[in-house]
Chains A and B, each alone.
Chain A
Amino acid sequence: MAMTTVNNGVNVQALLDAREALKGAPEATKFTWRASCKWNNGTHSRTNVESFFGLGQEQKHKTETTFDADHPEIFASEDRGITPIEYVLVGLASCLTAGVAAVAQNRGVQLRSVESKLEGKMDIRGILGMDSDVRNGYDDIKVTFKIDADASKKDIEAIVAQSQKRSAVYDVITNPVNVTVEVV
């Protein structure tokens, strides 16, 4: 039910058409996202993202993007990029935000602004190996959305709830994923 007067910039009709078209094409729905990483020095590395596989063939982003990651100076490092664990917040924020836009478009709600602040709490005794009862990663992640839209607070909350329900990054953070690491 795309409303022509509401425009959040999301082509919901294309997504709905894709859903229909893909019903009979199970191989086309299998995607592989990729990244390749090169160590630079110390805790600094560069990760490139350009190609991925989907809809049955190799695909490429319009441009190659490079992501620097490092540790901050208080970790006795050089802060040549954000920390890997902060990239996780970037992923979560952007995934949920895109979802809000898509769901709002699908529900005929005009968004005026969508901002979110994220906080991930972590006890560094985990990564420093000081205490085996302390986990390495986040204990808790809090996302606070501030949304100005043509809808009631309840409807906005429902949009945000639906965005989580369909979010890839939210899924990967809240549910287990098999990770295999090999050396060739």
Chain B
Amino acid sequence: MIGAGHAGLAASRLLAERSLDHVVLERGDVANSWRRERWDSLRLLTPNCQTRLPGYEYAGPDPDGYMTMGEVIAFLSQFASLSGVPVRTNTNVTSVTRVDDGYHVTTSSGDVRCRTLVIASGACNLPSVPSIRSSIPAAIEQFTPFDYRNPDRLPEGGALVVGASATGVQLAAEIHRSGRRVTLSVGEHVRLPRTYRGRDVLWWMDVSGVWNQRFDEIDDLTRARRLPSPQLVGTPDRTTLDLNALSAMGIELVGRFAGVRDGRALFSGGLRNMFALADLKMERLLDAFDEWARVNAGAADVQEPERFAATRVPPSSRLQLDLRNREIRSIVWATGFRPDYRWLQVPVVDEKGYLRHDGGVVDSPGMYALGLPVLRRRKSSFIHGVEDDARELIEHLARFLRG
């Protein structure tokens, strides 16, 4: 098992239940990414009542609240020690090669041989930054979510946040509140209200079955696996942090960052359609929730259906921004992440750097992946979503070991 994040820990518990001998290799500490690669104010997007791993769930007083990073780390560490997960911490995997009837794993503290291997290193090892980064004038400081911890690290002055994912909207709001002028560049995005008909939108995703939709039932799976994270934030007051909320705060919305020419940032003129696509998609989802509620009337205590205002289009959205006049002092690239498989010396990585797998069964005997977006279900990468995938893949793995 490579990786002691929530996926690796969940799988380890299930392997132990079957008495399958295993070890979890972790380059840092348990919950490493949560410790090292997150910003200070981040909270989970999923409410506490959905924070669960096999045989272990949140038992605190606030089921509707959202865990801070410290709380997530404590939750995962507690789970690891209660389950007796055999983790080798500070063990960095440097290569995996195929040998005889298994794999040879070299690490920073010795080699391991195994018959089966589960890759649970996550989908977010490296930030994805568009190549325009090299055309940005040197006077502007650039940050990825991995460098960003809080607004104090940013120089004073205007900030351009690129990307309207969950990261993008959260950082845009936080940086704006620090007193800096924020411009948010918006490409394709996923709009969701925080609550719908009085319940958390992710409660709806769960009960209506959207989250359980299987990978082999999804039309454009590649697209589903690369969707930006939905525009949600986990705050105690459960506010919706969509583009309307941001523009009401005074954040300027511009189109997709399309290029740099003569020291000017160029933004797409197609912003209106980006809004339309996200609004329409959200409506279809809410229609699906309403349909579920209609059919399951009495199964849940929900308020009346509601619809939300269309994303407001600025009267004229700016197509260019001068990057040389010192109005913009920093750029934050909330443009997504990609996995890092440079250590994987088995030909199972495609030309775009993604793992070749069929619902988590990787294209090499006895190799599996866990915790990737829409691995087997729409909920696959979420903390509670890992369990069902893990059970199925470990069943497959156990059968493989039996021959």
A→B interface (CB under 8 Å): 140, 154, 157-158, 161-162, 164-165, 170-171, 173-176
Instruction: Answer yes or no: B273 CB below 8 A from chain A CBs.
Output: yes
A174/B269 contact (C-beta < 8 A), A157-B280, A158-B280, A161-B277 known = yes
Nearest-neighbor residue (CB-CB) of B287 within chain A: A154
Closest 7 CB pairs of A and B: A174-B269, A174-B270, A176-B259, A164-B273, A175-B258, A161-B276, A158-B280
Contacts of A158 in B (CB 8 A): 280, 284
Decide: A176 and B276 in contact? CB cutoff 8 A. Answer: no
Within 8 A of A (CB), among B228-274: 255-256, 258-259, 261, 266, 268-270, 273
- The 26 listed contacts between A and B (C-beta, < 8 Å) are A140-B316, A154-B283, A157-B280, A158-B280, A158-B284, A161-B277, A164-B270, A164-B273, A165-B273, A165-B277, A170-B270, A170-B273, A171-B270, A173-B269, A174-B255, A174-B268, A174-B269, A174-B270, A175-B256, A175-B258, A175-B259, A175-B266, A175-B269, A175-B270, A176-B258, A176-B259
Expressed in whole angstroms, the Cα–Cα distance for A154 and B282 within the complex equals 12
User: Shortest Cβ distance from B50 into chain A, in angstroms?
Assistant: 30
CB distance from B167 to the nearest CB of A (A): 23
Which of B258, B261, B273 has the most C-beta atoms of chain A within 10 angstroms of its own C-beta? B273
Contacts of B280 in A (CB 8 A): 154, 157-158, 161
Which chain A residue shows the least CB distance to B316? A140
Tell me what chain B mostly uses at the interface: helix, strand, loop, or mixed: mixed
Please name all residues of chain A whose beta carbon is closer than 8 Å to the beta carbon of B261 when the two chains form the complex.
176
Least Cβ distance of B222 to chain A in Å? Answer: 11
List residues of B whose CB falls within 8 A of some A CB. 255-256, 258-259, 261, 266, 268-270, 273, 276-277, 280, 283-284, 316
- B residues in contact with A162, CB < 8 Å: 277
Q: How far is the CA of A162 from the CA of B274 in the complex (A)?
A: 10
Given contacts A170-B273, A176-B259, 7 further A-B contacts (CB under 8 A): A140-B316, A157-B276, A158-B280, A165-B273, A174-B268, A175-B256, A175-B266
Cα-based distance from A10 to B268 in the complex (angstroms): 29
Note all chain B residues with C-beta closer than 8 A to A175: 256, 258-259, 266, 268-270
> Which residue of chain A has the shortest Cβ distance to B272 in the bound complex?
A164
B266: which A residues are within 8 A, CB to CB? Answer: 175-176
Query: Which residue of the partner chain A has the closest CB to B261?
Result: A176
Q: How far is the CA of A73 from the CA of B205 in the complex (A)?
A: 61
Inter-chain contact B273/A161, CB cutoff 8 Å: yes
